[in-house]
Chain A
Amino acid sequence: MTDTANPANEAMPKSQMKASWSFLRGHLREYGILFALIAIMAFFQIATGGILLMPVNLTNLILQNSYIVIMAIGMLLVIVCGHIDLSVGSVLGFIGALAAVMIVNWEVHYLLAGVICLATGALIGMAQGFWVAYFKIPSFIVTLAGMLVFKGLTLWLLAGQSVGPFPGDFQLIASGFIPDLLGGEDLNLFSLAAGVVVAVILLAMAVRSRRQQQRAGVADEPFAFFAAKNGLIFIALVYMSYLMATFRGLPNVFIVMALLIAVYSFLTSRTTIGRRIYAIGGNEKAAKLSGINSERLTFLTFANMGMLAALAGLVFAARLNTATPKAGIAFELDVIAAVFIGGASMSGGVGTVVGAVVGAFIMGVMNNGMSILGVGIDWQQVIKGLVLLAAVIFDVMNKKKG
């Protein structure tokens, strides 16, 4: 494949090098975060003597971080829109409690309860988004209030007790695995096949969009980078699904996460709604004067956040197999940290779904790796804090230089 946009680059190796270099400088952040994740994984893989990537641990890693990832996707939209949501941890706990009370105490069918919980989450998001969008109350204040309110309501709902256990079917949300439809023995063939298929689809999509870009003459990514990046993603996906296939296969949550990542990546990068949310975060006045209904989109962004927090609440409750009054405390901080590590800007308008997900996994791998190494919870916090600070300092310096 040749770069039709920069044909001169193909002819002269020297100018090609220069172009590659200037491209890398411009996109340091995108690659930087991916490299950071790989470096951190490599470090812990060696430091833990290979435990990190053992199939059972890898599966655990994904299960442990699923609810953070799910909320980070919603938080990304909120932060890109120029706001913040501090209430997600409390909402997660509240929804878990609601699910437990409905399913365990009232014996509501778990599917119906799940739907009610998601709707409740969306309503909570709307209630907060209403004040932020239409009355211009700072989101920091509104959601700080929400955080207190729902923390309190969780306590009230559970009457200070833990409620559980859930029926087996409900637990499958978080702890179930895709059954092997292909009948492999030691290896979950279906999971491996699914992983390979997804990897191939991603690769095909990347190639297609590069073709489109070239036809439009806007492809500025040197081919070497394009190949390296997508090759790496392809290999990583296939390898991960192989590893998990040797254990119990792909977890159900993994499928949910993958779907959410795909849908929201598309929403943010390719739809008019996504474009408008970025424009609102980038310059709300200009967006409004361009005919964008910033109030309604801000409102919907919060509604969406509430719904995803509710989904995370269900996953978390199913994983613990019980709803506790302490569920979700301080989760909002991990979620917000993940989004900022992933390159979003405090002032809005900047950030990607994939970045936020990678940010969440950077936090997750560090948690997991340090736990295996026996690093105390005290020092884990210190190190995570410093990593967040370093990532944002890197962002700001990088922007100033550019």
Chain B
Amino acid sequence: MGTILEMRGITKEFPGVKALDDVNLSVEQGEIHALVGENGAGKSTLMKVLSGVYPHGTYDGDIVFDGDVRQFRGIPDSERAGIIIIHQELALVPLLSIAENIFLGNERARGGVIDWRETNRRTAELLARVGLKEHPETLVDDLGLGKQQLVEIAKALSKEVRLLILDEPTSSLNETDSQKLLDLLLEFKEHGVTSILISHKLNEVSKVADTITVLRDGATVARLDCHQGVSEDEIIRDMVGRSLDDRYPPRDPKIGETVMEVRNWTVHHPLHAERKVVDDVSFHLKRGEVLGIAGLMGAGRTELAMSLFGRSYGRDISGEAWIGGRKANLSTVRRAINEGLAYATEDRKGFGLVLDDTIRRNVPLANLEAISDRTVVDPAREAAVAEEYRGRLNIKSSSIEQETVNLSGGNQQKVVLAKWLFADPDILILDEPTRGIDVGAKFEIYTVIRDLARAGKSIIVISSEMPELLGITDRLYVMNEGRFVGELPTPEASQERIMSMIIKSGGSK
């Protein structure tokens, strides 16, 4: 046995953010190596560097694979070397068969003509290796998620795989499918295949991993040898262990009466009607309160918020929402806005902004009535409003005539915020309000949140960054797999407590 992969001193910067800072990762031949860390710790970025998504030259540091320094320029380069990644979002074409998917771009063909007999024979072999009994001509669409995951692995095996990387492979699988997948990894290990497992589920990690590397804030903080016995608590401490310094504005909350109450809210997946994305969630919100919803990606937090905001997500929504002591009608976005609700999306480019339009035209979009006389827009009032919010939120731009597509992430986020502040809601739901923006802009957004709460508004913050939630909220709910699994006042909360709530609830299913 020797070292198959060594990543040395990897540093990767994005405009305004240092995503990876001198990261080291060393993987032994034939082991299962787990990579753990919070959302945004840099795990995915590191794997993108390794696989050539970020080509050689866009990062600093060396990748040594099989004893040679490699300079991958793209995924084909790294695949040729035998490094195969299976992403969290599956990359299968649903309306093609298993066999077609496995050999997509790598077809068994003679002179451009596909040899179907050979294709199906090889597919059957590969399926047998991953323990699937499906016919190679079955459409991927007809398989469950667990089996689709196995098809992905079979696809990886169809190439000469030397290092298999699985990014959150079990995040959308149930207990039995997860167990099967982990067993498969152990079986591959017997046959000498090395794998890197990226996972949030520490119970799974400690079950199968030989070595664990912990990343935090884009840096390597620990390398743990599992054969010497590692406890989950130890891993959690390494994952979250950082102090809260003055990255958050000081606050003195004045919390009033309950303004919103949601009871037994249940939402089903829009395509898979039998899947509950939000499962029997009840919560309340008080005047002047900043309420946090913690959880991992895919816990159902965005789905909860969007289903509340005018049924913008999901189907078969049931449950009641009470606002100001009355049962609220939230059946369309317009009605939700009229009930005093606002929702600033996590996906500001896809759902938040009309990117080709200027700041001036984006800011009043949710409240055009306020700048119009009987449906005729008053350009002077519009410009004044846009100018006011540009100043108030410190939106860095050449003028209000700048197109939002050309703004930085933080400033785009401020335009989305401005749009909702101008709509003057009583209850503001902010979904990942600081994702991908730099520290300075974060502080400005925290300040806006604090000032809103002080002015008597109620704010729900959804965030995957736990320190942020601990720094700016008054009370926290913890969400996992569609359910609220804990509630605690922020002063009593810690990252360790939140993490263990998530992990314990995950295992009890």
- Residue numbers of A with Cβ under 8 A of B are 209, 212-213, 215-218, 220, 270-276, 278-279, 282-283, 285-293, 349-350
* Cα–Cα distance between A218 and B401 once the two chains are bound (Å): 8
Known contacts A279-B354, A282-B357, A289-B345; decide if A220 and B401 are in contact (CB<8 Å).
yes
* Cα–Cα distance between A387 and B358 once the two chains are bound (Å): 30
B319-338 to A contact mask, C-beta < 8 Å, 1/0: 00000000000001110110
* Cα–Cα distance between A368 and B419 once the two chains are bound (Å): 49
27 contacts between A and B (CB under 8 A): A213-B379, A213-B383, A216-B384, A216-B387, A218-B360, A218-B399, A220-B399, A220-B401, A270-B379, A272-B377, A274-B377, A275-B368, A275-B377, A278-B361, A279-B365, A282-B355, A283-B350, A283-B351, A286-B350, A286-B354, A288-B333, A289-B309, A289-B333, A290-B333, A291-B336, A291-B366, A349-B354
| Chain A CB within 8 A of B394 CB | no
Sample of 5 more A-B contacts, CB < 8 Å, known A275-B361, A289-B309:
A216-B380, A289-B343, A291-B334, A291-B336, A350-B356
A160 to nearest B CB, angstroms? 44
| Chain A CB within 8 A of B372 CB | yes
* Cα–Cα distance between A217 and B400 once the two chains are bound (Å): 10
Cβ of A287 and Cβ of B377 under 8 Å apart?
no
Residues from chain B with Cβ under 8 Å of A274 in the complex: 377
| Chain A CB within 8 A of B375 CB | yes
Cβ of B383 and Cβ of A218 under 8 Å apart?
yes
Identity of the chain A residue whose Cβ is nearest the Cβ of B382 in the assembled complex: A216
Checking A209, A282, A289 against B379 with a beta-carbon cut-off of 8 angstroms, the contacting residue is A209
The 4 closest A-B pairs by CB, nearest first: A282-B354, A216-B383, A290-B366, A272-B368
B88 to nearest A CB, angstroms? 22
B124-150 to A contact mask, C-beta < 8 Å, 1/0: 000000000000000000000000000
Cβ of B377 and Cβ of A286 under 8 Å apart?
no
Residues from chain A with Cβ under 8 Å of B336 in the complex: 291
Checking B352, B377, B387 against A270 with a beta-carbon cut-off of 8 angstroms, the contacting residue is B377
* Cα–Cα distance between A292 and B375 once the two chains are bound (Å): 14
Known contacts A289-B309, A350-B356; decide if A275 and B383 are in contact (CB<8 Å).
no
Known contacts A282-B354, A282-B356; decide if A288 and B312 are in contact (CB<8 Å).
yes
| Chain A CB within 8 A of B418 CB | no
Identity of the chain A residue whose Cβ is nearest the Cβ of B306 in the assembled complex: A289
B403-423 with Cβ < 8 A to chain A: 419
Known contacts A212-B379, A289-B352, A349-B354; decide if A276 and B400 are in contact (CB<8 Å).
no
Known contacts A217-B387, A218-B399, A278-B357; decide if A286 and B352 are in contact (CB<8 Å).
yes
- Kindly state the interface size class of chain B when it binds its partner: 35 or more
* Cα–Cα distance between A40 and B400 once the two chains are bound (Å): 36
* Cα–Cα distance between A311 and B318 once the two chains are bound (Å): 48
Residues from chain A with Cβ under 8 Å of B365 in the complex: 275, 279, 286-287, 290, 292
Residues from chain B with Cβ under 8 Å of A220 in the complex: 399, 401
* Cα–Cα distance between A278 and B380 once the two chains are bound (Å): 19
A322 to nearest B CB, angstroms? 41
B415-444 to A contact mask, C-beta < 8 Å, 1/0: 000010000000000000000000000000
Cβ of B337 and Cβ of A291 under 8 Å apart?
yes
Cβ of B383 and Cβ of A283 under 8 Å apart?
no
* Cα–Cα distance between A274 and B369 once the two chains are bound (Å): 13
Residues from chain A with Cβ under 8 Å of B369 in the complex: 272
| Chain A CB within 8 A of B293 CB | no
* Cα–Cα distance between A212 and B383 once the two chains are bound (Å): 10
A249 to nearest B CB, angstroms? 33
Residues from chain B with Cβ under 8 Å of A218 in the complex: 360, 379, 383, 399-401
Known contacts A217-B383, A279-B365; decide if A293 and B334 are in contact (CB<8 Å).
yes
Cβ of A285 and Cβ of B350 under 8 Å apart?
yes
Residues from chain A with Cβ under 8 Å of B355 in the complex: 282-283
| Chain A CB within 8 A of B376 CB | yes
Residues from chain A with Cβ under 8 Å of B383 in the complex: 213, 216-218
| Chain A CB within 8 A of B353 CB | yes
B132 to nearest A CB, angstroms? 35
Identity of the chain B residue whose Cβ is nearest the Cβ of A276 in the assembled complex: B368
* Cα–Cα distance between A273 and B376 once the two chains are bound (Å): 9
B200-233 with Cβ < 8 A to chain A: none
Cβ of A349 and Cβ of B357 under 8 Å apart?
yes
Cβ of B377 and Cβ of A349 under 8 Å apart?
no
Cβ of B354 and Cβ of A283 under 8 Å apart?
yes
B82 to nearest A CB, angstroms? 38
Residues from chain A with Cβ under 8 Å of B310 in the complex: 291
Residues from chain A with Cβ under 8 Å of B384 in the complex: 216
Q: Which of B310, B354, B376 has the largest count of A CB atoms less than 10 A from its CB?
A: B354
* Cα–Cα distance between A216 and B378 once the two chains are bound (Å): 11
Cβ of B312 and Cβ of A283 under 8 Å apart?
no
Residues from chain A with Cβ under 8 Å of B379 in the complex: 209, 212-213, 216, 218, 270
A342 to nearest B CB, angstroms? 17
Cβ of A272 and Cβ of B375 under 8 Å apart?
yes
B220 to nearest A CB, angstroms? 38
Identity of the chain B residue whose Cβ is nearest the Cβ of A266 in the assembled complex: B376
Identity of the chain B residue whose Cβ is nearest the Cβ of A214 in the assembled complex: B380
Residues from chain A with Cβ under 8 Å of B376 in the complex: 270-272
Residues from chain B with Cβ under 8 Å of A288 in the complex: 312, 333
Known contacts A216-B380, A275-B365; decide if A286 and B333 are in contact (CB<8 Å).
no
Identity of the chain A residue whose Cβ is nearest the Cβ of B345 in the assembled complex: A289
* Cα–Cα distance between A220 and B309 once the two chains are bound (Å): 38
Residues from chain B with Cβ under 8 Å of A216 in the complex: 379-380, 383-384, 387
Identity of the chain A residue whose Cβ is nearest the Cβ of B333 in the assembled complex: A291
Cβ of A289 and Cβ of B401 under 8 Å apart?
no
Residues from chain B with Cβ under 8 Å of A212 in the complex: 379-380
Residues from chain B with Cβ under 8 Å of A287 in the complex: 354, 365
Q: Which of A275, A286, A292 has the largest count of B CB atoms less than 10 A from its CB?
A: A286
Cβ of A271 and Cβ of B351 under 8 Å apart?
no
Cβ of A279 and Cβ of B357 under 8 Å apart?
yes
* Cα–Cα distance between A218 and B356 once the two chains are bound (Å): 18
